[in-house]
Amino acid sequence: MKIKIMFIIFNSIIACFMVIIIGVAFGVENSMQVLGVQLWGLLALCVVVLIAFDAYYCVNAKLLSFLEREDWPALVQHLETQTLTKGRYSARSVRLLAQAYLILSDTASLVNLENMTALAKPQLVETYALIFGTARLLEKNMVSAANFFSARIRSRKPNKADLLWLRFYYGFSMLLDWRFAEAAEEFIILTKISNNAVITGLTAWFLSDYLVKTLPDRNADITAAIEASRKQVKEAVYDLQQWNAKVSRLQRKPHVAIISQYLGKAGSWIFA
């Protein structure tokens, strides 16, 4: 309903603006012909913007309605028709469908979407690797998750921000698979290369809360990484309130939402 109201308001504003331009353009004297030409050009621009906006709304009205109502089953059905049935694997459709599957905890369908997308547009699997990799974690298939994240890291295709999360989830999946030494190695590397305060703090918390106790022979390396990371985070984030604000913004992303409980614990530990 809000989207429809915004659509009506936008159209009304543009329409009023166009009426004003027409009125001024007809009132321009011959000596101001240059201004008149500019006004008609502005009117043409308004018409183009209005047509483009209305066309976008009409084409996507159903999709926008589902998103506004957070009607995930209906959204899934609509997007499955567009992608899996009609074969229209656009980046937006694949992303929204994958996110909807995650929200519904439908990991089987998410894995199927990954397989179908890999055949139709394999680059989209790389683009949304964090979402597809998360499905393996939710399925508690840690070996598959670790292999998936490792392959994405080695491909060198993800951007810097995604690469840091991919490395975190690579270490996280090994930790959940009880491969503590490998997890610690990955987390120590991540604390050295990360410029993301949340990832750095979360990684340090896992090193402190889990790995330093299980790997006494690596105590010195792990402790050094923990202390350096904690100092780095406190230099970037002033207090727990600011940490929680950063976490709250990140939790809008499905791959971050699934670890929200750990983010809260990490923040309390850092600023204790």
Nearest to 139 by CA among 164, 110, 168, 98: 110
Token pair for 84: 């899996």
**What confidence score (pLDDT) does residue 255 get?**
84
Mean pLDDT of the chain: 85
pLDDT over 70 percentage in the chain = 87
One-letter amino acid for residue 143 of the chain: V
Confidence band of 31 (pLDDT split at 50, 70, 90): very low
- Long-range CB pairs of 231-235 (<8 Å, 24+ gap) are 232/191, 232/197, 232/200, 233/197, 233/200, 233/201, 233/204, 233/270, 234/270, 234/271
Question: Can you tell me the distance from the alpha carbon of 101 to that of 82, in angstroms, rounded to the nearest whole number?
Answer: 15
Question: Can you tell me the distance from the alpha carbon of 34 to that of 169, in angstroms, rounded to the nearest whole number?
Answer: 61
Q: What are the sequence ranges of the domains in the chain?
A: 1-69, 72-122, 128-272
Indicate whether 151 pLDDT > 60: yes
Indicate whether 27 pLDDT > 90: no
Lowest mean pLDDT among 35-39, 83-87, 141-145: 35-39
Confidence band of 43 (pLDDT split at 50, 70, 90): confident
For residues 56-69, give the mean pLDDT: 70
Question: Can you tell me the distance from the alpha carbon of 156 to that of 134, in angstroms, rounded to the nearest whole number?
Answer: 19
Confidence band of 25 (pLDDT split at 50, 70, 90): low
CA–centroid distance for 12 within its chain: 33
**What confidence score (pLDDT) does residue 37 get?**
63
The pTM assigned to this predicted structure is 0.78
Indicate whether 167 pLDDT > 80: yes
Task: Say whether 239 sits in a helix, a strand or coil.
Answer: coil
φ/ψ (deg, to 5) at 258: -70, -15
Nearest to 196 by CA among 237, 248, 148, 151: 237
Element (H, E) at 213: helix 212-214
Q: 128-272, which class in CATH?
A: mainly alpha
Q: What angle do CA 257, 258, 264 make, to 5 degrees?
A: 70
Indicate whether 65 pLDDT > 80: no
